[in-house]
Amino acid sequence: MSGIALVRKPGPRIAEGIVTNIRREPVDAALAADQHDAYVAALEANGWRPVHVEAADELPDAPFVEDTVVACAGLAVLTRPGAPERRPEVGSVAALVRELGVRSVRVTAPGTLDGGDVLQVGGTVYVGRSARTNDEGIGQLAALLPERRVVPVELRGVLHLKSAVTALPDGTLIGDPARVDLPGLLEPVEEAGAHVVLLGGERILMAASAPQTAAMLETRGFIVTMVDISEFEKLEGCVTCLSVLII
């Protein structure tokens, strides 16, 4: 078993989730629930033990659990989401983290930080300066992670840093240079190809909407598991958004 995967089931109001940079489309709540089950099953099949955060059906964006906590070397940094309507999501995540015995700290006002803006690559933590994450939040994160090098990153036209770039198991950054200025980016074929979840070893999780990028990465020696998350993509979600992996 690789570790714990924090997840939260989508509720019946998921179609009301916040949309910022794309046109709103109808979301099928039942299909989203099925897709979430398949996503969780894929994590479990790759050795991660799913642990479900308490349901929050009144909070449409609650399944995007990544934004509520950053897991780093045995520490859980509980965030203060930039969208005020998402801040109630953090309480139940905090309770579960305590139940799991993981040491936790908090980002506090006036800082804002969404976990989707935090990309950890070795000893470096890239943090997107976005509509959801401010300089105070970035500064607090740096203070909470003194052993890491925290690097602010400017974004263009995307919700979160990990909407534009993630990292492969070998540390290579894969992302869209039109959205983010980081050196040495490997460009994906599809936009969704910029989103990978590291499952351990050479294994990665990707969205079914990026088949050509998946094929490209397989030629580089990575083992790709693909999942259909189309209903979450309609809400600017990606494969990283739906879980927090704790080793």
User: Is 241 assigned a catalytic role?
Assistant: yes
- Residue 21 pLDDT class (50, 70, 90 cuts): confident
Number of C-beta neighbours around residue 28 at 10 A = 14
Mark 39-53 as b/e (b = at least 16 C-beta within 10 Å).
bbebbeebebeebeb
Q: Which two tokens stand for residue 152?
A: 């602010």
107-133: pLDDT as tens digits: 999 999 999 999 999 999 999 999 999
Q: What is the pLDDT of residue 1?
A: 52
Average pLDDT over residues 82-98: 98
CA-CA distances (angstroms) from residue 228 to 8, 117, 122, 172?
17, 23, 29, 24
| 240 vs 224: CA distance, rounded Å | 14
* Element (DSSP H or E) covering residue 13: none
Q: What is the pLDDT of residue 174?
A: 98
Q: Residue 133 carries which DSSP code? A: -
User: Is 195 assigned a catalytic role?
Assistant: no
168-221: pLDDT as tens digits: 999 999 999 999 999 999 999 999 999 999 999 999 999 999 999 999 999 999
pTM: 0.96
Per annotation, catalytic residue among 36, 195, 238, 241: 241
Average pLDDT over residues 233-238: 95
Per annotation, catalytic residue among 36, 72, 160, 238: 160
| 78 vs 87: CA distance, rounded Å | 10
Q: What is the pLDDT of residue 23?
A: 86
69-85: pLDDT as tens digits: 999 989 999 999 999 99
Q: What is the pLDDT of residue 22?
A: 80
Q: Which two tokens stand for residue 81?
A: 């989401």
Query: What is the tally of helices (H) and strands (E) in the chain?
Result: 5, 14
Is 35 a residue whose pLDDT tops 60? yes
